[in-house]
Amino acid sequence: MARLFGTDGVRGLANAELTPELAMSVAASAAQVLAAHDRSHRPVAVVGRDPRASGEMLEAAVAAGLASAGADVRLLGVLPTPAVAHLVGALEADLGVMISASHNPMPDNGIKLFGSGGHKLPDGIEDEIEAALGETGTRPTGAEIGRVADAPEALNHYLDHLRTASPQPLDGLRVVVDCANGAAATAAPEVYRRAGAEVIAVHAEPDGVNINDRCGSTHPEALCEAVLEHGADMGIAHDGDADRCLAVDGDGSLVDGDQIMAVLAIAMSESGELAGDTLVTTVMSNLGLHLAMREHGVNLRTTAVGDRYVLADLRSGGYSLGGEQSGHVVLPAHATTGDGLLTALRLMGRMAATGKPLAELAGVMRRLPQVLVNVRVADKAAVAASQSVRDAVDAVTSELGEEGRVLLRPSGTEQLVRVMVEAPAEQIAQAAADRLAGVVSAAS
């Protein structure tokens, strides 16, 4: 039987795969498991959501499940995922629940769980929750049933936290923010204005069905055009739950997560904030980031693909900056998960502090052309480990030298082998990727 929890909680088509019954059961089970780990007090849970229509239904189910297990519930309303993670600690809750499918299309939804302090639950706790699904046991009655109440102070609490974490004034900066018609629609324009920026908000009118619809970080083309149209200094593109951001410079060019991390790493290294002068990212980050960090004396650690692996390395090593090419950036001193609003504030703060345009700051890193080819195979592990494939990878790696890179890895979910090649020119990368894909296919 497949594991219920994926790499980022429980996710599926709302009201089909992710039903209210399942949401209620997961919430009740989570409350029971956490209460069993700490019986010293009545558990408290905070619940937030993005604005997709199914969130209203699932919020009601989650709240009912939590209360049925004896947990008091604080409803945060529509807030970014990182706000929910922060408020678990700020409101001294035992559990945080975010109802969102992030950058997925509107019909999907998901449930993300955060434990004490706002950290994602360990796999072991998720396994306990899954094992306890459907076990009603002795339910509380009378005054022991949990109570449900709104938390109207939640948004301001989170915005105040962001300003403390990034106090640099942004006066004189004109920014276009694409809120993806999602959870950032209120919070992002408000906090950027509080910091002093002139803000032009686009796709900031969520109606429950337009989240991520040809907008936000998955479709930054509209933001590129808006930055030029409004003569803005830069643009910020959030995803549906605002745990990530991409940027656009004043020339309308996209600035991806690797470039954002390069800018922040250099700034933090100069200020002494970059623990161990080390940046943590995944194996998918562009070789250009490796070269830029080497040039500026910053060590770069790589993990497997997935923010949970970046988070684990940040925590185990005590590092202060990490993230992914997608714009999911983590600053552990101020957040327990990726926070797109905090990332944007820090990026704009660097512009304001240096007086330099984003294009110049991001220019410390040159993105090398990157080609990815997916090859369907019968046995991904066997093919990836075959001698012919390893020899071909070694040969291409030797040919590219320090000016290129090869990454070959089995897919985590499908019978695919992913071949990624970076090189100084796209035609070189494409030719090498096609050549390796042919060897992989032949080995299947």
Tens of pLDDT along 265-314?
A: 999 999 999 999 999 999 999 999 999 999 999 999 999 988 889 999 99
Q: How far apart are CA 246 and CA 329, in angstroms?
A: 10
For the segment 371-414, what is each residue's pLDDT rounded down to a tens digit?
A: 999 999 999 999 999 999 999 999 999 999 988 999 998 887 68
**pLDDT value, residue 22:** 97
Architecture of the domain whose range is 10-152: 3-Layer(aba) Sandwich (3.40)
Q: CB under 8 Å to 350, separation ≥6 — which residues?
A: 168, 263, 264, 267, 361
**pLDDT value, residue 5:** 86
**pLDDT value, residue 136:** 67
Q: How far apart are CA 282 and CA 285, in angstroms?
A: 6
Told to judge if 102 belongs to the known catalytic residues of this protein, a careful annotator would answer: yes
**pLDDT value, residue 278:** 98
- Burial annotation 337-356 (CB, 10 A radius, 16+ → b, else e): bbbbbbbbbbbbbbbbeeee
Task: Tell me which residue of 200, 242, 66, 50 sits closest to 146, measured CA to CA.
Answer: 66
Architecture of the domain whose range is 370-443: 2-Layer Sandwich (3.30)
Architecture of the domain whose range is 157-362: 3-Layer(aba) Sandwich (3.40)
Please give the structure tokens belonging to residue 193. Answer: 């204005």
Q: CB under 8 Å to 236, separation ≥6 — which residues?
A: 175, 176, 177, 178, 188, 192, 223, 245, 246, 247, 248, 340, 344, 347, 348
pLDDT < 70 stretches in the chain: 1-2, 136, 413
DSSP state of 74: E
For the segment 230-271, what is each residue's pLDDT rounded down to a tens digit?
A: 999 999 999 999 999 999 999 999 999 999 999 999 999 999
Task: Tell me which residue of 202, 408, 370, 220 sits closest to 286, measured CA to CA.
Answer: 370
**pLDDT value, residue 38:** 78
Catalytic, out of 54, 100, 102, 166: 102
Query: Which ranges in the chain are annotated with CATH 3.40.120.10?
Result: 10-152, 157-362
**pLDDT value, residue 2:** 62
Q: CB under 8 Å to 402, separation ≥6 — which residues?
A: none
**pLDDT value, residue 137:** 72
- Residues annotated in the binding site for Mg(2+), as ranges? 102, 239, 241, 243
